[in-house]
Amino acid sequence: MNPDPSIREEAIRWAARVSDPEFGDWDDFTAWLEGDPAHAEAYDTVQFALDEAASLLEAAPGVPDVASAPANDNPPPPLAGRRWAWIGTAIAASLVLVATFLLWPGARGEADYATAPGETRLIALSDGSTITLGGGSRIAIAGEGKRKARLEAGQALFTIRHDARDPFVLAVGSETLVDAGTVFDVRMNADGLDLAVSEGAVVVNPAAQALRVDAGRKAVLAAGSYTVMPVDPDEVGEWSRGRITFRDAGPAEVAAELSRATGIAFEAGSAGSAVRLSGSIALDQVRADPRSLEPILGMKVRRDGGVWVISAQ
Amino acid sequence: MASNPKLEQAYLAHRPRLLRFLAARGAGDAAEDLLQELWLRLARAADSEAAANLAYMMRAADRLMIDRYRARRQEALREQAWSEAQPGLAEDIAPSPDAERSIAARQHVTRVEQALAALGERPARIFRRHRIDGLAQRDIAAELGISISTVESDLRRAYRAVADLRRTLDEV
């Protein structure tokens, strides 16, 4: 973390050179890196600080642009304005995951939690279980000892301390999910819900079809019926670790997911709406530069007013 | 998203250089794996013509390592937040986390702005034009009517100020 000052100075010099789009001296840069493993580390430290500063500045709402000359000269891109005002908060939330502690309001009371798009909340329950609430989501948690919750919108990752005599029960719309020793992720969408299990198992609607979904399986509810398919357990709840993986998803779904996860407004354009997209996306990278999605998705991403449009052209 | 033959050919031709770069760039023994990841990124590029260019590939490799470093740092932060969130460690509970968080975010933005402003108007402006708006140093020089070497030296000063600020925060 504290390299030799001269190495640090060299790393800054290289960062300034490499960041230029016209930079072409990759062989010399490689030679410098090969000179000492500390070089790469110093360079990483500098680039990290620069990316962070740039994304904070870009998202900063309504602050006077200390760097810019008066407004007649190269106005900054249309980032200022109210619809961007909450993005600063969203980005901050991505930099430091904020832990929320549950204050039980009373024996019978419910506690409600809601997140803005781009925000993530960790909710620690008194029994040692945790719920990570994704962006643009809402959940109501029953009073102490009740082991009940109701997901009202969005997505959450549940890490539940299992008790066979007193299972944790989650209501999602008209569905009931009961844990059987579990880490599971639930996402509500327009069609129904996706339930993905990475540890243990969840029983869906025990009073009706009693569908058991084991670790490494995913149940998708659409048009009133469930389809079960395999899922990579490492991908379950990975949004809470700053990543989203899509497999054969439509641009509209990708846009909605990214908006909720990053707090940046995305939309699917009309061109290429039938395309199916696959790819694994680091959310920080998207927050720092929405256009970084282009190579990952193989789609164009352009800004239209306050919205980023994902389309084939 | 099938890769095009021209891109594949260019990638195979540049493979040894890319591998060497990744190894030096901090990938070490994982360089082969990361090269595979790099190939996936290249194959998905919207413009495969541009992606077949060595400079594009090297830049993508550099970006890959920057992303990995950031992911590692954030993982560490999350683990820290996680352990701090264990019940029992904070019985008397967080006062309005929302308010606290947005204050912290605003403070950080303000610190970055102050660090840049302290250098004067020009370096701060160059930092934004280059790092946020993505302008080439040559274009910034033309826009401001100054030499490229002045742009470079201002940019280095701005980079140093931002890196120093991050280091100060890391040491707290």
Domain boundary (B44, B78, B112) is at B78
Strand partners, A170: A149, A177
Residue B90 lies in a domain: no
CATH number of the domain residue B136 falls in? 1.10.10.10
Residue among A263, A222, A254, A6 at smallest CA distance from A115: A263
Closest-CA residue of chain B to A53? B112
Which pLDDT score is estimated for A104? 31
Contact B163 A45 (CB under 8 A): yes
Q: What domains sit in chain A, N to C, each tagged with a CATH number?
A: 5-89 (no CATH), 97-235 (2.60.120.1440), 241-311 (3.55.50.30)
| A46, A5 contact by CB (below 8 A) | no
Give the closest of A20, A57, A285 to B136, CB-based.
A20
- Binary contact (A19, B130; C-beta < 8 A): yes
With respect to residue B172, please indicate whether it lies within any of the assigned structural domains. Answer: no
Backbone angles phi, psi at A89, to 5 degrees: -65, -40
**Tally of domains in chain B:** 2
What b/e sequence results for A139-153 when a residue is b if at least 16 CB atoms lie within 10 Å of its CB, and e otherwise?
Answer: bebbebeebebbbbe
Please give the residue of chain B at the shortest CA–CA distance from A16: B156
In this structure, the answer to whether residues B101 and B73 fall within a common structural domain is: no
Q: What is the largest CA-CA distance in chain B?
A: 62
Q: Is position B10 within any domain?
A: yes
Instruction: Specify whether the CB–CB gap between A272 and A313 falls below 8 A.
Output: yes
Q: Which two tokens stand for residue A226?
A: 């469930």
Look-up: residue for tokens 């099938």? B2
Contact state of B51 with A92 under an 8 Å Cβ cutoff: no
Q: Supply the pLDDT for residue A77.
A: 35
| Residue of higher predicted confidence among B1 and A55 | A55
Same-domain pairing of B62 and B117: no
Distance from CA of A307 to the nearest CA of B (A): 17
Contacts of residue A298 in chain B, CB cutoff 8 Å? Answer: 1, 44-46
DSSP SS3 for B13: helix
* Cα-based torsion angle of the residue sequence A122, B95, B113, A134 in order, rounded to the nearest 10 degrees: 20
Q: Pick the residue with more confidence: A295 or B15?
A: B15
How many C-beta atoms lie closer than 10 Å to residue B49's C-beta? 11
Mean pLDDT of B31-49: 86
Domain's final residue, options B15, B48, B78: B78
Residue from A289, A309, A287 nearest A299 by CA: A309
Distance from C-alpha of A173 to C-alpha of B172, rounded to nearest angstrom: 45
User: Is the predicted pLDDT of residue B130 greater than 80, yes or no?
Assistant: yes
Which residues of chain A have a CB within 8 Å of the CB of B124?
A: 66-67
**To the nearest whole percent, how much of chain B has pLDDT over 70?**
81
Same domain, B74 and B100: no
In this structure, is residue B23 part of a structural domain?
yes
Q: Which two tokens stand for residue A293?
A: 């999605």
pLDDT at A103: 31
B118 and B60 in a single domain? The answer is no
Can you tell me the distance from the alpha carbon of B77 to that of B67, in angstroms, rounded to the nearest whole number?
A: 15
Asked if A2's CB is within 8 angstroms of B87's CB, the reply is no
CA dihedral A133, A136, B67, A296 (to 10 degrees): 120
Q: Using the beta-carbon criterion (under 8 Å), do A33 and B24 form an inter-chain contact?
A: yes
Is B102 in the same domain as B70? Answer: no
Q: Do A22 and B133 touch (CB under 8 A)?
A: no
Cβ atoms of B81 and A96 closer than 8 Å: yes
Q: Is residue B100 part of a domain?
A: yes
Residue B86 in any domain: the answer is no
Question: In terms of domains, do B55 and B14 share one?
Answer: yes
Whether residues A92 and B102 touch (CB distance < 8 A) is answered with: yes
What range does the domain containing B40 cover? 5-78
Residues B62 and B115 in one domain: no
Q: What is the DSSP letter of A74?
A: S
State pLDDT tens for residues A272-291. 777 888 888 888 888 888 99
Where do we find the tokens 């013509």?
A: B49
> Does residue B111 sit in the same domain as residue B147?
yes
Q: Is residue B139 part of a domain?
A: yes
Enter the pTM of the model.
0.49
Is residue B100 located within the same domain as residue B49? Answer: no
CA angle B54, B58, B63 (to 5 degrees): 145
- B64 & B124 share domain: no
For A14, name the nearest residue in chain B, comparing CA atoms only: B156
Task: Using 50 as the pLDDT threshold, list the residues of chain A that sit under it.
Answer: 61-108
pLDDT for A152: 87
Q: Which domain-ending residue is among B52, B78, B104? A: B78
A100 vs B113, more confident: B113
pLDDT, mean of residues B21-46: 90
Residue B65 lies in a domain: yes
Alpha-carbon distance A58 to nearest alpha carbon in chain B (angstroms): 7
Residues B10 and B42 occupy one common structural domain: yes
| Residue A99, pLDDT score | 30
